[in-house]
Chain A
Amino acid sequence: MSAPAPSTAATVSPVPPDGALAGVRWALARDLKLAFRSRAELGVQLLFYVIVVTLFPLATTPERNLLSTMGPGVLWVASLLASLLSLPRLFATDHADGTLEQIALSPYALEALVSGKIAAHWLTTGLPVVLLAPMLGLQYYMDGESLTVLAAGLLIGTPILSLLGAIGAALTLGLKGGGGLLALLILPLYVPVLIFGAGAVDAVRAGLGATANLSLLGAGLALAVVGAPFAAAAAVRIALD
Chain B
Amino acid sequence: MALNWFKLSSPATFYPLAGTLIPWFAAGAAILAAIGLWLGFGVAPTDFQQGEVYRIIFIHVPSAWLSMFLYVVMAFWGALALGFGTRLSGMMAQAIAPTGALMTFVALWTGALWGRPTWGTYWAWDARMTSELILLFLYLGIIALRQAIGDPRRADRACAVLSIVGVVNIPIIYYSVKWWNTLHQGASVKLTGSSMETTMLTGMLVMSFAFWFYSIAVVLARVRAIIVERERDTAWVGALPEVKA
* Chain A interface (Cβ < 8 Å from any Cβ of B): 164, 167-168, 171-172, 175-177, 181, 184-185, 187-189, 191-192, 227, 231, 234-235, 238-239, 241
Interface size, chain B (Cβ < 8 Å): 22
A188 cross-chain contacts in B, Cβ below 8 A: 134, 137-138, 141, 166, 169
Among the 9-residue stretches B5-13, B34-42, B65-73, B155-163, the one with 4 or more Cβ atoms under 8 Å from chain A is B155-163
B134 cross-chain contacts in A, Cβ below 8 A: 188, 191
Q: Are A172 and B161 in contact (CB under 8 A)?
A: no
Q: How far is the CB of B206 from chain A (nearest CB, A)?
A: 33
- Complex-state Cα separation, A234 to B158, whole angstroms: 9
Among the 9-residue stretches B19-27, B142-150, B226-234, the one with 4 or more Cβ atoms under 8 Å from chain A is B142-150
Q: Are A234 and B141 in contact (CB under 8 A)?
A: no
Q: How far is the CB of A146 from chain B (nearest CB, A)?
A: 21
- Complex-state Cα separation, A227 to B162, whole angstroms: 13
* Chain B interface (Cβ < 8 Å from any Cβ of A): 82, 130, 134, 137-138, 140-141, 144-145, 148-149, 153-154, 157-158, 161-162, 164-166, 169, 172
A239 cross-chain contacts in B, Cβ below 8 A: 154, 158
User: In chain B, what residue has the closest Cβ to A228?
Assistant: B165
Q: Are B166 and A238 in contact (CB under 8 A)?
A: no
Q: Are A235 and B137 in contact (CB under 8 A)?
A: no
A184 cross-chain contacts in B, Cβ below 8 A: 137, 140-141, 144
Q: How far is the CB of A228 from chain B (nearest CB, A)?
A: 8
Query: A171-B162, A231-B164 in contact; A187/B137 too (CB < 8 A)?
Result: yes
Q: How far is the CB of A182 from chain B (nearest CB, A)?
A: 10
Q: Are B140 and A171 in contact (CB under 8 A)?
A: no
User: In chain B, what residue has the closest Cβ to A183?
Assistant: B141
Select A171's contact among B138, B161, B169, beta carbons within 8 Å. B161
User: In chain A, what residue has the closest Cβ to B127?
Assistant: A195
- Complex-state Cα separation, A238 to B146, whole angstroms: 13
User: In chain A, what residue has the closest Cβ to B140?
Assistant: A184
Q: Are A238 and B154 in contact (CB under 8 A)?
A: yes
User: In chain B, what residue has the closest Cβ to A237?
Assistant: B157
User: In chain B, what residue has the closest Cβ to A235?
Assistant: B161
A235 cross-chain contacts in B, Cβ below 8 A: 158, 161
Select A241's contact among B141, B154, B169, beta carbons within 8 Å. B154
Q: How far is the CB of A110 from chain B (nearest CB, A)?
A: 14
Q: Are A175 and B137 in contact (CB under 8 A)?
A: no
A227 cross-chain contacts in B, Cβ below 8 A: 165
